[in-house]
Structure 1
Amino acid sequence: MKKTKEKNTRGRKAEDTRNELKDVLLSFFNQNKNRTFTAAQLRRKLALRSKSSEDALYDALFELERNNTLAHLKNGSYKLKSSSTTTITGVVDHVNPRYAFIVSEEGGEDIWVNTSSLKGALDGDTVKVAVYSSSGGRRKEGEVIEVVQHKKDEYVGTIEILTKYAFVVPDNKKMYSDIYVREENIKGAKEGEKVLVKITQWPTENRKPEGEVIQVLGRAGEHNTEMHAIMAEFGLPFDFPERVVEEAEKIDEGITHAEIAKRRDFRDITTFTIDPADAKDFDDALSVRKLENDTWEIGVHIADVTHYVKPDSILEREAYRRATSVYLVDRVVPMLPERLSNGLCSLRPNEDKLTFSAVFEMDKDGKVLTEWFGRTIIHSDRRFSYEDAQQVLETGTGDFADELLLLNDLAKKLKEDRFKKGAISFETIEVKFKLDEKGVPLAVYPKIRKDAHKLIEEFMLLANKKVAEFVYKMRKGESRNTMVYRIHDFPDVEKIKTLSTFVKKLGYSLNADAKKVSSSLNKMIDEIEGKPEQSVLQSLAIRTMAKAKYSTETTGHFGLAFKHYTHFTSPIRRYPDMMAHRLLQHYLEKGKSVNKAEYEEKSRHSSDMEKVAADAERASIKYKQVEFMQNAETRPFEGIVTGVTEFGIFVEMIETRCEGMVRMSDMDDDYYDLDADNYRVIGRHTGKIISFGDKVMVTVKDTNLAKRSIDLEFVEAGKKTPKTPKEDGKRRNKRVQTIDDEGELDW
């Protein structure tokens, strides 16, 4: 009994000491509201010398942290939380299982948040974050205080079935928690199948998300299953609703004399299309006619989709919802039903077709003398593939050789004029696959852009530019007509400076001055052409650029060096082009300016859906690249280091254009530290350096189709320096620029 009383007495004394310390700590932190302190610093500041008082300190700190009075920062220090703490709203970028960044809607520095402080928020969710300034000048840290909106509630993954329940392992690389599924919600899915699961209970700090299977996609690893999985992952529709198809089928395909009478007739003028060999929807055509004054009439004719798709119709609403066609490796997820995209609106040869046209009178130097915009009717004389047209350009013989050679000459002059005015000459390398009848990739090769591609591109750019200028100049000031523009902001100055510093280390120069950055970028691009580092340096340069988007504000297009630019030339596959057609016709008919807020919201939606489409397309390419490398022969591949992180080194294999990662944990010749500022890792003992842009030899260690990832091993890597660099080698919790699947351009 005596021992029990003594124990209770000691316990009460410890509790009293802890409570006293809590009061002392609160007073101390209130006097130092904007400062951070480690436990050791607090022990010295408060003159705590005994072991018992040290234990009480840690207990007091733990309780103050638990009741949200103190924040325990990443570096081990503590800081007072208060009502004056900065709160921001942003989007979760869950970069790895340990932590995430919150990207603020207002811009500025991203906020570091430990995964345990996410309050169950998932990648892409919009959250409110309490922000705390960390000590030592490091980046800001914070914790989620509210999940404002979940980005999505459906995930694709592979199901693992246990006795009374199952787990779905998500395909999404940034979803680090399996989804728990109760037995009654498995819905007949079998072990190892790909499923679509809907979240029914969101995760908390101590609990996994819970969901129910809503669709079984098929056996994981099968071509059709994986393509359907990618479509489901990005919320892409598998087919059109029945009522949409029915409305499309009811459209009368006949062209009446009354309709022709409303239009400018180009049916007797030489006209042709140039498209990929496997294309089925031809939404643009070119006409050529020589005029008496030694000039040329060039017509850019675009499928008149809005003649068939009426405002507020079922077809219109579905087109807006999709906003864009999506081009996966083996299929197209179209914006419009096939009857429209491949039939009524497709400018097929030897058929009368309704079009919306931009017609230019041009001299031999490529200067536009006059312009005309309006609805037309055409009759295409020939359907060229890019290869067919290229052969004519190279040989000077064949169908419409004179017209093609003229157009090519004018296109080169248009391009030359663009570059004189500051356009950027990015030529991104895209990959294409040869698939067998089951969808298995037999080969992967880069798409080659030749003069035939560039010819079409220049005239589409001209039409888009001139339509935008025409609408912009129709009225002035506050009464200016609302239009949907394609805009591309000037790149972030700090990013350009960072890129300039980096490329200098590789022997190139880049002037970050606003007036010289365009010409300097073009000079660098010319210098790296044909070199191994061309692809990754271009990708890195593109990543410094702002993302092009749609807006009713015409702030200009930096990449093209156009003050005004729109998307007018692809209404079969892009909803913004349909908006541009409607608005142009409305203003040609002397209509008043439309509601700007309404079209700004439509522009935002179109930009968002464009991002979804691009992500889905990259996912399908990545999947096929992984599948191809899975079946490729086991041998060394030459590669280029395309990114460095604290957990691994990204390498793009030059021959196959496939990217994989050499994990730090697999590099057993030394322990490597990340030098994020210089895009490299450094061996602690050997001083060996592996940097962005290095040529390396790798072999494929493993492939994971579910995660769409390739693990590599170095055969030969890095280079030795005379001595180990002076950096202290501590790993930094800092995002590093990596060239992943997002290095592409769409203007």
Structure 2
Amino acid sequence: MTAQQLVERDGRKYKTKATTRQHTGVLQCHDKGFGFVQATDQDEEFFIREANMGEALHGDLVRVAVAARAPEDKKRECEVLEVVERRCTEVVGTFHHRSDFAFVEPDDQRILQDVYVAPDAFSGAKDGEKVMVSIDRFDDRKASPEGRILRVIGPSDDPNVRVLSLAMSMDVKADFPDEVEAEAEGIPVKIPEDEIERRRDLRDKPIFTIDPVDAKDFDDAIHVEELDNGNYEVGVHIADVSHYVEPDTAIDAEALERGTSVYLVDRTIPMLPEKLSNKVCSLRPHEDKLAFSILMELTTEGDVVDYEICETVIHSKERLTYDRAQDYIEGGYPDDKMAADVVQANRLAKTITRRRMQEGAIDFGSDEVNVILDDDGTPTNIVRKERLQANRLIEEFMLLANRTVAKHIAAPEHVDRHRSNGTDEPLPFVYRVHDSPDSEEIQQLAEYVRVFDHELPLTDGNARSSDLGALIDEVQGQPEEQVIVRAALRAMSKAEYAVGNIGHYGLGFDYYSHFTSPIRRYPDLMVHRLLKRYAKGGSPADIEDLAARCEHCSEQERNAEEAERESVKLKQVEYVKNHVGEEFDGVVSGVTKFGVFVEITDLLVEGLVHVREMNDYYVYDESTYTLRGENNGTSYRPGDSVRVEVASASVEDREIDLLFVE
């Protein structure tokens, strides 16, 4: 096809003149056999039929020809002209062996073709096993992509293999390259004396960590001491990963590529090799460790009146779990040497929390679940995660440290006077930003909560964070609490990393960054390096490089969160599969024209009652978010209590079908 041709498909003409009708974008397929291409050069998304995808696969960067006009109320259609970059190069799926060939059925149903594997490329894979296969060739839409088995993951019916293959299908890297592991093994555990001597020695401070009972990667530690003037010294001590992981090393490149650790339902896939994440860098108790600390002087009202950021050596006196710290807070174990320190830290943390909420922060609470697994990875129970005051204590001090670091860079003494435009601007930095919600989304939320007799005040088409926070407080304990909280979360913009500071809407902060978790988040490692660089008078960092890294890490974070959610959902469905045919109480969590979503109260899982399984012809009322039967008058809306039966549970699709019990 030449650049000047007109191509006709399904009666529609596609101009291919490069200057007017060609666009580049990423192909996003749907499992029903169609897809969309979001143009990179304009804010428009194009519809594409499978027949017009050419040799492109889900996730590929493609160049498309676009129809001159769109059908009424629909998107313009497009056709793939060229695969600019094959980004779908590896696929996870199930290996199916036939007499003289095999194929891999992708787990990701957005990959619309099976992958053909020749007999000499089986690599020992057996029928029914989960595998990773390469995409070596795909140049004919009428044929299958061809590839080789790169890795045999394990039996499809193994509960642990299911989780790992799910994560790998979502581009989570399970293993470290040999070069990275070798580099990590070469890093000494023992700290040289000359390194200790050049740092602030805080080994005599009453420092402790508070983490989950099964944690091994201790990023952060704290201490609190009363000063002679009645104020308090709060020390937040962070693992000094930047001392061990240097730029332009294999470890650093791998950490950047991963961007974050991934916390799946049954395992952690770390950003750094375990020797670093669990041993060398981890602030383990009763061991000397290198830290990057921020020492803050706080008044009894929680105001930071002074601070210092410095490289330190510390010695954690105690490794506390959240449960043990909570016992201290509630008055238990008063004779334990750390109890008084934890109690004092909690007093300060509660003061800071109160101030933060008064200043406009939003507390959405926690709706996380914990799936209890046996030794084989089979789910035995599902419980809601309890958010203890001990959790809030640590969260509050981490928020304070992150905020103080970001404000530190914005201070007048850190103005970049090397800019070519001659303006005084803050030095290039990595911020954690959260934009205000889209005005259309927030207006829809205001209409939604009005159905439940709640009001969300809007100013110039948007809501102040303080007003949204007040709404969340107002619905606490009400039947509609969870559906309104979830609707509010859906209306929120996504927090991300950026070099341009716009503040953090949800926290109500003008300045915010991520400083406290460099073992598991690459942006925190970037922040550590920038702080050290600027403290030594180094030149401003390259903004374009920082921006590219921020964008990549934001994308990796979103991918990790999706993998984490889907792994939990997988185990939830496995658990519910044992309860097919049983009846449960539930709450309507969402209503659409095609059915009613219900959260089963006892099982903490969500399923769908499809309209075709309901006892009447139901019509969806958009104005009241209600599904109403035309003949019997029965209606369903979010927040309603219902009784349901589990009809089926598909582990493969991670979907649960329910029936209403009459």
The reply to whether residue 346 of structure 1 matches residue 293 of structure 2 is no
Task: Label 1:148 to 1:501 Cα distance change in 2 as closer, same or farther (>3 A).
Answer: farther
Stretch of structure 1 that moved more, 287-296 or 418-427: 418-427
Task: Label 1:684 to 1:197 Cα distance change in 2 as closer, same or farther (>3 A).
Answer: farther
Q: Decide which of 100, 116, 127 is 2:35's aligned counterpart.
A: 100
SS of the counterpart of 1:550? strand
- Cα pair 2:6 2:15 within 8 Å, conserved: no
Task: Label 1:241 to 1:122 Cα distance change in 2 as closer, same or farther (>3 A).
Answer: closer
Q: Decide which of 418, 431, 441 is 2:369's aligned counterpart.
A: 431
**1:648, 1:213 → 2: CA distance?**
41
1:537 corresponds in structure 2 to 484
SS of the counterpart of 2:557? helix
The reply to whether residue 475 of structure 1 matches residue 475 of structure 2 is no
* Runs of 5+ consecutive residues of structure 2 not aligned to the other structure: 417-422
**1:671, 1:203 → 2: CA distance?**
47
Q: Decide which of 244, 247, 250 is 1:311's aligned counterpart.
A: 247
Residue identity opposite 1:296 in structure 2: Y
1:641 corresponds in structure 2 to 588
Identify, as 1 or 2, the structure richer in helix.
Answer: 1
- Cα pair 1:71 1:80 within 8 Å, conserved: no
Task: Label 1:405 to 1:202 Cα distance change in 2 as closer, same or farther (>3 A).
Answer: same
The reply to whether residue 143 of structure 1 matches residue 78 of structure 2 is yes
User: Shift of the alpha carbon at 1:235?
Assistant: 2.8
Task: Label 1:178 to 1:288 Cα distance change in 2 as closer, same or farther (>3 A).
Answer: same
The reply to whether residue 561 of structure 1 matches residue 501 of structure 2 is no
SS of the counterpart of 1:141? coil
Stretch of structure 1 that moved more, 534-543 or 484-493: 534-543
Task: Label 1:178 to 1:532 Cα distance change in 2 as closer, same or farther (>3 A).
Answer: farther
The reply to whether residue 196 of structure 1 matches residue 142 of structure 2 is no
1:700 corresponds in structure 2 to 646
Stretch of structure 1 that moved more, 425-434 or 643-652: 643-652
- Cα pair 1:97 1:115 within 8 Å, conserved: no
Residue identity opposite 1:197 in structure 2: V
- Cα pair 1:700 1:711 within 8 Å, conserved: yes
The reply to whether residue 548 of structure 1 matches residue 495 of structure 2 is yes
**1:416, 1:86 → 2: CA distance?**
56
SS of the counterpart of 1:94? strand
- Cα pair 2:56 2:80 within 8 Å, conserved: no
1:723 corresponds in structure 2 to none
**2:138, 2:254 → 1: CA distance?**
30
Deviation by residue 1:156-210 (Cα, 9 ceiling, x = unmatched): 2223344444443322243344444455544443332222222344486655544
TM-score norm. by structure 2 comes to 0.89
Residue identity opposite 1:447 in structure 2: K
The reply to whether residue 507 of structure 1 matches residue 436 of structure 2 is no
Q: Decide which of 323, 335, 349 is 2:271's aligned counterpart.
A: 335
2:419 corresponds in structure 1 to none
Deviation by residue 1:500-523 (Cα, 9 ceiling, x = unmatched): 212222332223336743223212
The reply to whether residue 456 of structure 1 matches residue 394 of structure 2 is yes
User: Shift of the alpha carbon at 1:460?
Assistant: 0.4
TM-score norm. by structure 1 comes to 0.80
Matches within 5 A, 1:177-326: 177-182=113-118, 185-202=121-138, 206-326=142-262
* Runs of 5+ consecutive residues of structure 1 not aligned to the other structure: 1-65, 73-77, 717-747
1:360 corresponds in structure 2 to 296
**1:118, 1:507 → 2: CA distance?**
48
**2:444, 2:406 → 1: CA distance?**
34
Residue identity opposite 1:641 in structure 2: V
**1:403, 1:151 → 2: CA distance?**
52
1:33 corresponds in structure 2 to none
Stretch of structure 1 that moved more, 647-656 or 113-122: 113-122
Residue identity opposite 1:475 in structure 2: V
User: Shift of the alpha carbon at 1:671?
Assistant: 4.5
Residue identity opposite 1:494 in structure 2: E
Task: Label 1:547 to 1:628 Cα distance change in 2 as closer, same or farther (>3 A).
Answer: same
**1:675, 1:109 → 2: CA distance?**
29
**2:485, 2:322 → 1: CA distance?**
25
Q: Decide which of 559, 577, 581 is 2:528's aligned counterpart.
A: 581
Residue identity opposite 2:291 in structure 1: T
Residue identity opposite 2:498 in structure 1: S
SS of the counterpart of 1:566? coil
Deviation by residue 1:343-370 (Cα, 9 ceiling, x = unmatched): 1211122222111011111111111110
- Cα pair 2:196 2:313 within 8 Å, conserved: yes
The alignment's C-alpha RMSD in Å is: 2.9
2:106 corresponds in structure 1 to 170
**2:58, 2:16 → 1: CA distance?**
27
SS of the counterpart of 1:403? helix
SS of the counterpart of 2:135? strand
Task: Label 1:89 to 1:510 Cα distance change in 2 as closer, same or farther (>3 A).
Answer: farther
SS of the counterpart of 1:567? coil
**1:299, 1:429 → 2: CA distance?**
30
- Cα pair 2:25 2:39 within 8 Å, conserved: yes
User: Shift of the alpha carbon at 1:527?
Assistant: 2.6
1:491 corresponds in structure 2 to 437
**1:80, 1:241 → 2: CA distance?**
45
Q: How many equivalent pairs are there?
A: 644
**2:306, 2:204 → 1: CA distance?**
21
**2:445, 2:44 → 1: CA distance?**
18
Q: Decide which of 375, 382, 388 is 1:444's aligned counterpart.
A: 382
- Cα pair 2:415 2:425 within 8 Å, conserved: yes
SS of the counterpart of 1:453? helix
Residue identity opposite 2:131 in structure 1: V
